[in-house]
Amino acid sequence: MKRPFFFILGFFGAGGIFFFTVFSREAPFRTEWSHVFAREEKIVRESPDPGGRSGESESSTSKGKSVEENSESPEELPPASPLSFESREHATEFRPLRKEGISDLEVPSAHASIVMDAESGIVLQEKQAHTRRQIASLTKLMTAMITVERISDLDQPVTIDGEVMRTAGTRVGCPRSGFCNGVRLQEGEHITVRNLLKAALMNSANDAALALAKHVAGSPEAFVEIMNARARSIGLQNTNFCTPSGLEPEGREAECYSSAFDVARIASRALQYDILWELARTPKETISSVDGRYAHEIFNTDQLLGTFPDLVGAKTGFTPLAGYSLLAVSFDPTREHRVVSVVLNDPERWSSVKRMFAWAFESHYWR
């Protein structure tokens, strides 16, 4: 009688230990993810959208000045986990590990920089990555991401109005502020969302970004509310947007900021939308109004195109206050892993980013 008793006891005892071990290892992971999913879904669903639409859903001041880190911040959220992405697809089994004997990377020309593994969120290198700074047209990646999240049909026509026509800085037909050598958008012109996304991502056109914002939300102010709610939903602690284009409103410059870390998180999130990177990689294109009456030649500001074979895409940014900034995403040589590099206020931004990618892929392996 004793042997069956001990056999049964041993069976249940082992089973109980096994169950407890599995439960105790898995439960924190499930709890963390359910919290992130629920918070993100709730915020996105409740974001203001006065336009009622839904779908899948450069002022001149001293250069390089950053906002004090103790300035008033956006709504505080719990500290973000490195794995607090919005999809289980991002919960990768692979993590970058640094090879032995590898030194930290220095990016001396950048005021702030970061190298981040896109899938895991692990930071491989950083310098002042959480310091609040102006990011200029890097803002347009967030504008484009919100657009494709809320507009399912990218061939929807958008009407260009007088407010869009009065936009300052780089515009369609004006590749640099004050220099116009092409056909500008025209008041009353109808042009598709897709073509405006091309202008905003390729040529960094401020008027295109504003037109998209008004189409999505009815006004730039309402769209900015959506942008900041979206930033909070993905756990961005040091970001506050002021405009859809990244232009800093005169007298309110200190209110407009993000950080290298937050920009890298936005880029990682935007990787869910292949269309954004397909458009961002287009070297040049002629976009037309819906009726074919107006044609606008668009060139890409990305100097990595054609020279960096594993490039996923890039976005440039410049205002006198923000300086020259750049975000870029690249595959590793196996094309199985993606890394985001960001430099803020870096006059050597193109060479810096190339060095950052080379260091990341030579110094790490994924396991």
Q: What is the pLDDT of residues 342-367, one digit of tens each?
A: 999 999 999 999 999 999 999 999 99
Alpha-carbon distance of 139 to 244, in angstroms, equals 7
Nearest alpha carbon to residue 268 among 33, 140, 83: 83
**Backbone phi, then psi, for 330, in 5-degree steps?**
-140, 145
**What pLDDT, in 10s, does the model give residues 210-252?**
999 999 999 999 999 999 999 999 999 999 999 999 999 999 9
Looking at domain 88-366, does it have CATH number 1.10.1200.10?
A: no
- Domain residue spans in the chain? 88-366
Backbone torsion region of residue 153, taken as left when φ is above 0, otherwise alpha when ψ lies between -120 and 50, otherwise beta: beta
The answer to whether residues 263 and 138 touch, using CB atoms and an 8 Å cutoff, is yes
**pTM attached to this predicted model:** 0.77
Query: Which DSSP symbol is given to 85?
Result: -
Q: Where are the alpha helices (DSSP H) in the chain?
A: 2-46, 139-150, 162-165, 193-202, 206-217, 220-233, 260-270, 274-280, 349-363
pLDDT in tens, 161-173: 999 999 999 999 9
Q: Cα(247)–Cα(241) distance, rounded to whole angstroms?
A: 10
Q: What is the mean pLDDT of the chain?
A: 82
Q: Which residues pair with 175 in a beta bridge?
A: none
